[in-house]
Amino acid sequence: MSESTIVRFAMEIGYEGYPQMQKAIRELIKNKLTAAQRLEVASDRMDEKNILRSVLAADNRNIKETLNVINNDDFNNVVDTILEAKTIYILGVRSSSALAGFMGFYFNLIFDNARLIHTTSTSEIFEQIINATKGDVVIGISFPRYSKRTAKAMQYAKDNGAKVVAITDSYHSPAAKYSDFALLAKSDMTSFVDSLTAPLSVITALVVALGMRRKEIVHHTLQRLEKVWDEYDVYERTEDKATYLKTKWEPEDE
């Protein structure tokens, strides 16, 4: 088959050209690979003597690609939607549970209506989002290999009138299919490990944007927490800080 025929075929099925079709095929194959197959592919692609540089370089590429694909208007709309929500549900399973936990930790500092969905089975997910309805927001985090549990929960939430936000890698992902807004972040496989650096950056940006919009509330919460942390000795303190605090609160000699 000639090169011109391949190019025409790619354009006829909706791609701008052969490179775009080739990239889409690679993505499709990548998303179908098992963990064992990922490990085999990585063994052929990576220089085992320079793994540190290879992994960091790949994460750097993912962040750069994310900057090119993420929609800033969607990002701002997601911020507005979350701020207006009656209840915020955060969902991510398997490797994405780490991202959901990170988001949940900071959302609990910003909001008093955020719920991190703890997931060990599909039935437990539905039990925790059973009341999600109009006025609520469900944030589903899903990256290859996509979890069916996450997609089913997002479908349920959308069917019940809740706004659904997907944080995923493609508009073609199962999570994006059931979303009102999709924030895209590039995720690539690094050996059998999911590279989630770019998704974490997007979530960090979301937390910062929401924190800035609720600055006074967050500031008040953090001030109260600092007192609790000091009183109950939650964090390690440097000797200088401890000495400063001790001196500050000691009564002055009359």
pLDDT digit string, tens, across residues 160-213: 999 999 999 999 899 999 999 999 999 876 556 778 999 999 999 999 999 999
pLDDT, residue 216, reads: 96
**Domain match, 188 and 227 both:** no
Residue 116 shares a structural domain with residue 225 = no
Residues 184 and 202 in one domain: yes
Residue the block writes with tokens 């939607």: 81
Element spanning 91, H or E: strand 88-92
Overall pTM surpassing 0.85 (yes/no): no
Rounded CA separation 125/105 (Å)? 19
How far apart CA 87 and CA 138 sit, in angstroms, is: 8
Domain presence at residue 13 = no
Tokens encoding 134: 């109009």
Contact 138, 163 (CB under 8 A): yes
Residues across the chain: 254
For residue 236, being part of any structural domain is answered with yes
Is 231 within a domain?
A: yes
8 Å CB contact between 55 and 190: yes
pLDDT in tens, 1-21: 566 776 676 677 676 776 776
225 in the same domain as 208: no
Would you give the end-to-end CA distance of the chain in angstroms?
96
Burial of 196 (0-12, 13-18, 19+ CB in 10 A): buried
Residue 12 lies in a domain: no
80 lies in the same domain as 149 = yes
Residue 142 in domain: yes
- The answer on 209 and 110 residing in a single domain is yes
Overall domain count for the chain: 2
Same domain, 192 and 242: no
Q: What is the pLDDT of residue 40?
A: 58
83 shares its domain with 96: yes
Neighbours of 245 (CB within 10 A): 12
DSSP 8-state code for residue 194: E
CATH assignment of the domain containing 120 = 3.40.50.10490
Encoded amino acid at 162, one letter: A
230 and 198 assigned to the same domain:
no
Verify cis geometry, omega within 30 degrees of 0, for the bond prior to 224. no
- Say yes or no: 209 and 223 in one domain: no
72 and 195 part of one domain:
yes
- DSSP code at position 118: P
Q: Residue 49 has what pLDDT?
A: 80
Confirm whether 111 is domain-assigned: yes
Q: Are 24 and 15 in contact (CB under 8 A)?
A: yes
State which residues form the domain around 239.
216-249
Residue 233 covered by a domain = yes
Assigned domain for 232 exists? yes
Supply the pLDDT for residue 159.
Answer: 97
Q: What is the mean pLDDT of each run of 10 residues along the chain (254 residues)?
A: 68 72 61 57 65 88 94 97 98 94 97 92 88 98 91 96 97 94 86 84 98 96 94 80 58 55
Question: Cα 124 vs. chain centroid, distance in angstroms?
Answer: 21
Q: Do 234 and 192 fall into the same domain?
A: no
- Cα separations (Å) of 122 from 89, 128, 188? 15, 10, 26
Distance, in Å, from the CA atom of 249 to the CA atom of 31, rounded to the nearest integer, reads 59
Strands 189-190 and 193-194: antiparallel
